[in-house]
Each structure stands twice: as C-alpha cells, then as structure tokens.
Amino acid sequence: MEGLIFQSSEFGTDEIYANMEEYIMQITRDNYSQYAQMVQQMFGKKASSNDPLAQCDYGNFSLRFKPVDINFTKPNWDTIMTKRDKPAMSEEEFDEAIKELARKEFATGKRDDDAYRKLCMQHGETVSPDRKAIYESSMKKTGGKMNAACMFWDSKGNKTLSYNPESRNWKAISTDEEFTRARVFTSIYNDELARLKEEYGEKAKGNVSYSKIKADISAERSKEKNNNEGNTIDLQI
C-alpha cells in the first residue's frame, strides 16, 4: 500500500513506509524518483524507433492530454486505491477490525497478508482522491487512448495515478492524506500487538489461542462495564 508504515521492531517489522507495493499498488514520495527514472529509461530505449512509446515522456505534465497509440491494460479498481461511494465501515469498526487482525497475527504467529492488504486499502480509501474519475476524465480528452505522460493528475496538478507500459502495471501515487492515514492504521495495529505482548509475555506470540485472547477481552470488558455500573449514583427521588 511501496509505502505502508511498519514500526514494530519487537515483532520484526522495523521498516518505515517501505514495501507498500507488497500490500497495495502505490508509489510514495520516497520512491517516486527511482520509479520514474526506471520508466523513463524504458522510454529512452524506444527513442530511435518507430515505437509509439518513443512519443512518451513519463510524468511530463504538458503531455497529460496528448494521446498515443499504445496498447494498455485498463485499471482494476478493486486493487487501486480510489474514493468510494461510501466507507467500508465506520471509524469505530475500522479500529476494532484492525485490532482483530493484530490479535489473529499474535495468536497464529503470522500475518494474514490478504486480509491485511484489503483492510489497509479500505481504511486508506476514506481519504483517497477519486482516481477513477480522474482517469475517466482524462480518457475522454484523449479519445480513450493513453496519454503520452502515462500519468494522471487531479485538478490541482497533483500526481494521482501512473501506468507502466512495459509491465502493464497501474500504481496509485500516494497523497499526504493517505500517508497520514497509513500511519494511523499501523499505529493501531502495532499498539495492539504491543499490548498483547505485554499481557501474555515475550514468547507468547504463536502460542496463545485466538479464542483465549477473545475470551480475555470479553471478560475485561464485562468487568469494566460492571465497575462503571457500580460507580453510578442514582440521584432520582
């Protein structure tokens, strides 16, 4: 999601905003230059040929509506972060779902990458730009052809989406808001892992059942509820 933030060294995830591509197809501020150089080098190899790619200049804003006759794969919006009609769940539900994923990792000793990827994407999309609408608007102006920049900008001139003609991969270019949102996700996730480690011990990861964790949480919540009810003063006469 290149780009998600992992900050839990005690659980072996010490990378910060690294390897997001493993989770969600994203380009981040940190790796944009490297990725752009790679794509541009690929275009450069076509410069002396009749290949339509020779007309392309990756990330050139002035070419954003210049059509080129290259074959391209249409984006799969199920795997690209974009604004949705409505959030997948409420903030409270996101918070609990993220913690549940962390609990399952603690219980099994390994992360469910598919579930992590999906939830992380859903969580981040609450602040994502409408990349689908931006793409469709550009396609109308280029007659359904790829633009020579192989990139798509919002109305403010911010990069939002790019296409690599060689790999035929689409990548969302992360915004500051998505960057911040990713920090929220991993903070909740890693805080829950740390809490479980403190409660069950250093070597408990992978050795305590998920049902045990759930039962203990349920018992703790019941205890808190009873304590709160016991502290309530009835002032009715």
Q: What is the pLDDT of residue 66?
A: 97
Confidence at 18, pLDDT banded by 50, 70, 90: very low
Q: What is the mean pLDDT of residues 38-45?
A: 67
* Residue spans per domain, the chain: 9-202
pLDDT at site 61: 96
Q: For residue 95, what are its two tokens?
A: 């918070």
Residue 31, pLDDT score: 65
pLDDT category of residue 229 using cuts at 50, 70 and 90: low
pTM given for the model: 0.77
- Asked if pLDDT for residue 2 goes beyond 60, the answer is no
* pLDDT band, very low/low/confident/very high, at 54 (cuts 50, 70, 90): confident
Q: Report which of residues 87 and 234 the model is more confident about.
A: 87
pLDDT band for position 230 (50/70/90)? low
**Percent of the chain scoring above 70 in pLDDT:** 77
Mean pLDDT score, 2-25: 39
pLDDT value, residue 13: 32
- Rounded mean pLDDT of 162-186? 93
Please report the pLDDT score of residue 42 as a whole number: 64
Per-residue confidence (pLDDT) for residue 224, from 0 to 100? 80
pLDDT, position 43: 65
Buried b (16+ CB within 10 A) or exposed e, 131-161: bbebbeebbeeeeebbbbbbbbbbeeeebbb
Q: pLDDT tens across 62-104, in order?
A: 999 999 999 999 999 999 999 999 999 999 999 999 999 999 9
User: Mean pLDDT across the stretch 180-199?
Assistant: 96
